[in-house]
Amino acid sequence: MTEPYLTTDQLAARWGLQPAAIKNQRARGIGPSYYTIPRIGFPAGTPRVRYPLAQVLAFEESNQITPN
């Protein structure tokens, strides 16, 4: 069974931000933990960066972020 996750677009919508803002935070090392899935074995256009929901919830709690 796989762990629930959010894509960059889903996280951006949850926080009321643009996906580019989430990508910028990720590049600067800010935000919840994430992982990148390999390109091989997934259809083109499949979001590769995934944020485990448990990590998102923990980050929100520790940083007092209230999702939209």
pLDDT in tens, 2-12: 789 999 999 99
Any idea which residue has 């520790």 for tokens? 62
Mean pLDDT (whole number) for 59-65: 95
Mean pLDDT (whole number) for 46-54: 93
Q: For residue 7, what are the contacts with CB-CB under 8 A and spacing of at least 6?
A: 47, 49, 50, 51
Cα 57 to Cα 67: distance, rounded to the nearest angstrom: 10
Mean pLDDT (whole number) for 33-53: 89
Containing 23, the helix (H) or strand (E) segment is helix 19-27
Q: Residue 27: what pLDDT?
A: 95
The model carries a pTM of 0.88
Q: Which residues share a beta bridge with 51? A: 6
